[in-house]
Chain A
């Protein structure tokens, strides 16, 4: 990908983040007085004035906006209203758990999904294919909160094999990662299957076969890289699902990650913390999509050539 296109994408991404920042600022100011919600209606005027000053709400709106944007640019997302600690600290404390769970689930889903998709494509219309595709449909139509509860019911409560809540050990990771990963495995299996079927009939694969290239090498070396392009597209499209999914799965399995932090913040209507998580997520999403675009260019030489010409 040409650097110019990358720059355009980056600018668009930054614009999106800035819009989200501005919209949350507007929302924060439209939603009424957060101080009253915090101290209750029994508080004296002095107490309210003190908190106004503490959160910087006594200044004119445009000054608040400028310092808000400047603060975010420096990583200062303000104080959590219910906790009174910097929102960024709370997020930083929860983030490693979310990343560990999300990455494990994603890699699990990717490996399982791509593997199953290849197997299905190679055994097209045979029982193996039907079995894999049934699993795929099951995987992405099972809502993750229901799958999580069924897994808890079976593996934690009935067979007592795995813990159902928390994230103290590696064993705690298994059920939530499987819950979150199943959805991706289902999606990736479907897309890999159809991408592989598309490629397996191409002349270069047939030619490789005629040349006597052994089947594993033909599939993994000649077909799979060409099938990877639609798969990478799906990865980019599924990142949002990963974020949304981890909110649910962290709640089901009581993992103290960012998702749970967000749910708790919404429950206690701590909008300062909610907007911090919102903005952080949008930045992450923009960066992740850029990374997907970069991978795109890396695996598809045609993309590089075509785009630098235009």
Chain B
């Protein structure tokens, strides 16, 4: 099927732009671009500070539901501007997810290199730990670590950094072992280059694309994890805020002010859906075996 499509492309009418970039993919790109812009420019975009309380203007509905024009998305139980909180919540959520994913990628990649370089006992130990991590849902591991170490922003980012290291470790180990048997790595080693040089200058650039793909796969998972834990009140805690924290705190006001919980929920939903639509689309384009479907 893939072949026939490849050949027929030149005969048929040229592929329309719409077919190459479906509307949903464009929308997803716009959403993610917006999230990125909010993450970078939160300080300029937010009309108020996310902690500023105004007890006289509590639980005001969004402007489009008859609220006040100066609080476009309404206010929460302490009279804080929801639009501003949402903007900063996006920044904190993305920050935690970026930090967590990066730490996990770093730990996993380093351990993968160690396993592939030393083999033997070190490899066994690292792979055994990877098995342990994979045998439990990470939510459980994260909850246990939180029970053990408690709250705090940096601690929480560090705990999120435990997510997915085992995937990076397995990936890296596999690719490095393969690379070590390939011509270029043995050639550089034979020329007398130290192992560090071979790995950093020659092997790492070769496996970087695999690692980056894994990074983009882990990132949305960490966002979901952060929002879930913050929703439970165990992740990002007040006075800081995140999308999950806003949603969890707003849950108490569902009857009187549903927008406090629903607006951050929509933000989370749009983010995760955009990432999964985009991920599907990229995978369909990259994987020729899926072309026929």
Contacts and interface: CB of A to CB of B under 8 A. Distances in A.
Contacts of A138: 273
B137 A241 contact: yes
A291 interface: no
Interface in B33-73: none
Contact of A143 (B139, B143, B224, B254): B224
Contacts of B132: 16, 19-20, 23
Interface residues of B, number: 42
B203 interface: no
A266 B273 contact: no
Interface stretch (A60-68, A96-104, A168-176, A267-275): A267-275
A71 B268 CA distance: 43
Contact of A243 (B137, B147, B254): B137
Contacts of A225: none
Contacts of B138: 244
B268 A153 contact: no
A15 B128 contact: yes
A70 interface: no
Contact of B265 (A150, A277, A278): A150
B95 to A, nearest CB: 19
Interface stretch (A205-213, A215-223, A281-289, A302-310): A281-289
Contacts of B232: 247-248, 251, 263
Contact of A149 (B136, B228, B251, B255): B251
B231 A145 contact: yes
B231 A248 contact: yes
B147 A140 contact: no
Contact of B144 (A15, A241, A263, A274): A274
Contacts of A24: 144
A90 interface: no
Contacts of B262: 149-150, 153
Interface in B171-190: none
Contact of B136 (A194, A267, A278): A278
Interface of B: 128-129, 131-132, 135-140, 143-144, 146-150, 224, 227-228, 231-234, 244, 247-248, 251, 254-255, 258, 261-262, 265, 268-269, 272-273, 276-277, 280, 293
25 contacts: A20-B135, A20-B136, A24-B144, A137-B277, A140-B276, A143-B228, A145-B265, A146-B247, A146-B265, A146-B269, A150-B265, A152-B254, A153-B262, A243-B137, A244-B140, A247-B232, A252-B251, A263-B234, A266-B143, A266-B234, A277-B140, A278-B136, A278-B144, A281-B137, A282-B136
Closest 8 CB pairs of A and B: A240-B137, A146-B265, A244-B139, A141-B273, A244-B137, A266-B147, A274-B147, A141-B272
Given A149-B247, A263-B234, 16 more contacts: A12-B131, A16-B135, A19-B129, A19-B132, A24-B144, A143-B265, A145-B228, A145-B244, A146-B269, A152-B254, A153-B254, A247-B140, A248-B232, A266-B144, A271-B147, A274-B147
